[in-house]
Amino acid sequence: MKQYQPADIRNVVVVGHSGSGKTTLSESMLYVAGAISRKGKTGDGSSVLDHTAEETKRKAGVYLSIAQFEAEKKKINLLDAPGYADFVGEAIAGIRAADTALLVVNGVAGVEPDTERMLEILDERSKSRFIAVTMMDKENVEFSKVMTELEESTDKRAVPLFYPIGSGADFKGVVAVLDDEAFEFDGKGTKPCDVPGDVAAEVDDAKNKLVELAAEADDELMEKYLETFELTHEETVRGLRLGITSGKLYPVIPVAGETDQGVSVLLSVLGEFGPSPLDVPGPPIEGSDELAEMKPDGEPLALCFKATTDLMAQKFDFIRVFSGNIKVGDDLHNVTKNATERMGQVYSFLAKDRSEMDSIVCGDIGAAAKLKITEVNHTLGGKNSPEIHKITFPYPVHEMAVAASSKNDEDKVGSAFHKLMEEDPTFMLEGQPELHQTVLRTYGDQHLDVLSDRLKRKYNLEVVTSKPKVPFRETIRGTADVQYRHKKQTGGSGQFADVSIKFEPAGRGEGFDFVNEISGGVIPSKFIPSVEKGLHDAIVEGVLAGYPVVDVRARLHYGGFHAVDSSEMAFKIASIQAFKKGMTDADPVLLEPVWNVSIQVPEEYMGDVMGDISSRRGKIAGMEPLGKYQVVKATVPQIELHRYSTTLRSMTQGRGRFEGKFSHYEEVPRDAAAKLIEELRKEKEAMAHH
């Protein structure tokens, strides 16, 4: 491929709801542009872009797939993102690397939950976008209905740049709204035809909207438009470019990916109106409100946004260059790690086929082979380059306990997961020694499933998943004053210790407090530390279900000793026994971790969601509106949140989302405690047998 200048590069990320036809449309673009000679299908595993084992098995995209090709005298870097919510991290990484998004909307289903989610993500990141309404060749397609839904979802910023002629089997052409010209589909391309009378009114309406949105993009144009209510063709085109680049206007193009109809039109729109890397603001700088400067001849600055080892079994780091020019053999500075990184071979990729590049110019994307230290989210640049703000991924709230299926593989599984993390930074692994478990946090069941598949395929390791154990605590409600005498006479020296300890509740969050109130030497001071040590050893396991004891004060106020038989060991044993009796007598209770959760949910599901929270012993703390959503703030016991993300999705047809984190410990209500303690004891016994 020839070397393209930054102005002729288009970085486009393809996003949308799963099953909306993104990959089919992307492959049609490659086919129409002549980059591939045959198109595959995701459904039968022959897809060019969805080529990994996990994608072939699921018949759906799982990873960000990259296709770099030429069309319309431009170099197009197409990043095809998965649509399923569990793989949203891949889409977010693609959005950071791209300058514009192509939002694919299924013409039959219209705006779906993850279409809205993608619009929100693009809004948060102020990303310009084009919208392709695909499947126009299918039965039951109503373009005007889809447009109404899109206008609602985009604050009336979506407007047809091309209007369809016919639909379903009769989808035979498009009208260029700005130019009042019509085109009939002809093989991969189009040929001119007359504007049909039956769409003239709709086209006229779309044109007025386009002119109005174009005027809004520029103060000067706005002034003129308010005076005359019209703009010249040149002014409209200028306003459109500005509006598209600044993300205030989303041109809609009707297409049929399976039959390639309208795809040549889409490619020409991306070539003509798509922002180049030089048209958009630079990336944000870590720890600052400023943006990095983009200079084609400046110091190099790039971000690694994806890594994979699935291609030819070697590691490739995909890099988006924001400034300067990175050549093979360059010594770069890894700003994140403050270390030198040597650029080896650099490639451009078309799905899994690669070709060598001499350099990656400003604005371009390339894959570097065999980098030593660079990982996803690392910045590469010169000695004085700033660090690019890391791509922020949503917190993974789906928790499962994982363990190696064979005891011998435990260490291997841990290190294999860390290897997988180099390619997928969206999941987290957390060892919890107190509970003898490792917790894996993901975005959902599918995400977990894919990670398990990769573990098996790449490292031949298998894991078993189970419901995570919750870190309960135990404390007391009442007080108890316990006297305990430890006395043992055997041959030789005996053992003797006598302690009187008062146990009482301490404030929530105070932990364990030992108070020495011995006076007059009833227990020699050298034995006091042994009493304290005994109590510290004892609080590791409470009397209810064997969980650590917190928020208890122990006052050692009286005792006795024997000049010969008393020892540190004897006092330690006495205090442990006193503790067990004291806990039992002082009305012991179970404490559970409670999480603060924030649930974003469309208005119409509010009742269901709040009812469900109550059934999980949750307490609603408040609500606030957020656009078309309500955000419910609540506190919910951690044990009740198991698999909540899955439940919430099905309860809200995929539109609800939640975030949560640990807040505090709270007493388990009496009615729930008895049953829970019984279950936890059984769990402990089962563990002991293992």
Task: Give per-10-residue mean pLDDT for the chain (690 aa).
Answer: 93 96 96 92 82 86 94 96 94 98 97 93 94 96 97 95 96 95 95 95 96 95 93 95 95 97 97 96 94 94 93 85 96 97 94 91 96 96 96 93 92 93 94 91 94 94 94 96 90 87 94 94 95 97 94 97 93 97 96 96 94 95 90 96 92 91 92 89 78
Dump pLDDT digits (tens) for 268-285. Answer: 999 999 999 999 999 999
User: What local confidence, expressed as pLDDT, does residue 690 receive?
Assistant: 65
Q: Identity (one letter) of the amino acid at 407?
A: K
Q: Is there a domain that residue 229 lies in?
A: no
pTM of the full predicted structure? 0.89
User: What local confidence, expressed as pLDDT, does residue 491 receive?
Assistant: 67
Domain boundary among 232, 258, 273: 273
Cα–Cα distance between 271 and 164 in angstroms, integer?
20
Based on the domain organization, do 551 and 613 belong to the same domain?
no
Phi, psi torsion values for 484, nearest 5 degrees: -135, 130
Q: Is there a domain that residue 133 lies in?
A: yes
Based on the domain organization, do 403 and 457 belong to the same domain?
yes
Phi, psi torsion values for 159, nearest 5 degrees: -150, 140
CATH at 366: 2.40.30.10
Question: Given its phi and psi angles, is residue 351 left (phi above 0), alpha (psi -120 to 50 degrees) or beta?
Answer: left
- How large is the greatest C-alpha to C-alpha distance in the chain, in angstroms? 115
Cα–Cα distance between 8 and 5 in angstroms, integer?
5
Based on the domain organization, do 134 and 254 belong to the same domain?
yes
Q: How many helices (H) and strands (E) does the chain have?
A: 16, 34
13: tokens are 């990320």
Domain encompassing residue 533:
477-584
Residue 276 sits at the vertex; the CA angle it makes with 271 and 279, to the nearest 5 degrees, is: 135
Give the chain's length.
690
Based on the domain organization, do 157 and 63 belong to the same domain?
yes
Q: Where are the alpha helices (DSSP H) in 170-325?
A: 200-216, 219-228, 233-245, 263-273
Cα–Cα distance between 340 and 326 in angstroms, integer?
14
Q: Which contiguous run of DSSP H or E holds residue 10?
A: strand 9-15
Q: Is there a domain that residue 409 lies in?
A: yes
Domain boundary among 584, 609, 644: 584
Domain boundary among 381, 415, 433: 381
SS (H, E, C) 326-356: EECCCEEEECCCCEEEECCCEEEEECCEEEE
Q: Are strands 331-334 and 339-342 parallel, antiparallel or unpaired?
A: antiparallel
Based on the domain organization, do 30 and 157 belong to the same domain?
yes
